[in-house]
Amino acid sequence: MKFAILKFGGSNFKSVGDVQHVISILTSLKKSSQDMRYVVVVSALYGVTDKLVNALRNLRDIEINNFLDDLYKFHRNFLGNDDDKLRSIVFSIEGFLLGAQLIGRVPDFVYDTVVSHGERCSAYVLSEIFRKNGLDFSLMDPKDFIVTDGKFGGATIILERTEENILANVDKWISNDVIVPGFYGASPSGDITILGRGGSDYTATALGYCLRAEYVALFKDVPGFLTGDPRAVSCPSLVSTLSYDEADELSYFGAKVLHYNAVDPLRLRNIPLYICDVTNGFDLNRCTRIVPEKTKVDSCVKSISSSRDIAIVQFKGRNLGRVPGVLGEIARAVASAGINIKFVITSQTCISLIVSRKDGERVMKLAESLRLNEIEEVTFKHDKALIAVVGEGLLDHHGIASRIFKAVADGGINVEMISAGASEVSLYFIVPEEAEVEAVRRVHDEFWGGSQDGENDR
């Protein structure tokens, strides 16, 4: 049996009318490929995850029964009728909310259970809407088969354990098309753990790996990766093809169109990934295709992304570059605190760690406990932005770096740090936060000239 994984994001479900786009895509695909089993992964209906997060933030001020009743009515409006099972699903988190309200705090396991509740509700609602439109999908709960490492707030899927669980019940997947809530799995001890914001992408690609899918398609409200952020550049064009490495770099450093872990499962089995605008249907000529093969464009630059989610912690000392093991000691202390280092820049007198902004102060506090004689001073900067320029052959192509930095310099923007060579497909640099948009615009104009007819359209 052949499988295809289709993921539909929350922006595809802003209204009842939006669901018809999804139904049209599914109906068309099922007619054209009758030997294919489809696994549909869904996010929460538009805005529901934010409602749940806000409820947890303001738990002492809300009336829980009223909140859940409103949540039920919101989902019922999509369904078109009262439904006792839907009400039961919506109210199944009541005990978690009441318990957290009683103790005056939200434990991690409660947070992940509540925040992932939108996906459970939407999967039921959509399965019922599909059924009314002649599409029969079996509803499955990922806590029964997706196994994670148990890290609350941003878990990693254990692919081997998950695959074992699916194959142990493979008849359920073969006998009918399936709909699955995205965004969460369960730890080895059974606690629900979310996969980070946008984690439904990751759910879809993990299922693609486990079922050895022909392809994975992610349907969103954008047609895929663009040459630049539309908020920064006036005429970004669609990037038609990216390699796994290029997509990884873009998603890791700012491009929000794809979850940062989504490519990893597909890479292991060379499964293609398509990112499509739901209003275009499954049109391969109007989407981004992510594949194992490396493809180049004439300029080598395919896309530019940026992020303000960085903090720079600098460890300074006259002998840092001469004494072995200092960087290792710092990295071990940071890792033991569960903090991810985005990248490191070193010199003879300074070690610079780039981490998420929320982790910067935590690293500063850790530095106080290191007691390394070689460290004379530790500084912390958080008002910075990282710019990533991505493309196969970027570092092999003469003159590309000079064009990038001349474009930035011509805008009077100071480049404070540069990282090149760690990846063959990317170059990063850091600028003041207030210069982020202008830096992206200037680099984009250097390679695309503000035209929609960029080299990535070829």
Q: Has 342 been labeled as part of a binding site?
A: no
**Structural tokens at position 54:** 């806000």
- Residue 181 CB contacts under 8 Å (≥ 6 apart), including other chains: 41, 42, 116, 119, 120, 122, 123, 141, 142
- List the one residue out of 78, 101, 100, 108 whose CA is nearest residue 90: 78
Q: Has 8 been labeled as part of a binding site?
A: yes
Check if the beta carbon of residue 355 is closer than 8 Å to that of residue 342.
Answer: yes
Residue 278 DSSP code: G
Check if the beta carbon of residue 122 is closer than 8 Å to that of residue 48.
Answer: yes
Instruction: Look at residue 338 and give its three-state secondary structure.
Output: coil
Instruction: Look at residue 343 and give its three-state secondary structure.
Output: strand
Q: Has 315 been labeled as part of a binding site?
A: no
- List the one residue out of 160, 161, 116 whose CA is nearest residue 141: 116
Q: Has 7 been labeled as part of a binding site?
A: yes
Helix axes 108-115, 48-57, angle to 10 degrees: 150
Q: Has 421 been labeled as part of a binding site?
A: no
**Structural tokens at position 458:** 């070829």
**How far is Cα 156 from Cα 168, in angstroms, rounded to an integer?**
21
User: What is the number of other CB atoms lying within 10 angstroms of the CB of residue 93?
Assistant: 22
- List the one residue out of 313, 306, 443 whose CA is nearest residue 366: 313
- List the one residue out of 400, 396, 422 whose CA is nearest residue 249: 422
**How far is Cα 200 from Cα 318, in angstroms, rounded to an integer?**
47
Q: Has 231 been labeled as part of a binding site?
A: yes
Q: Has 281 been labeled as part of a binding site?
A: no
Instruction: Write out the binding residues for substrate.
Output: 49, 119
Instruction: Write out the binding residues.
Output: 7-10, 49, 119, 231, 256-257
Instruction: Write out the binding residues for ATP.
Output: 7-10, 231, 256-257
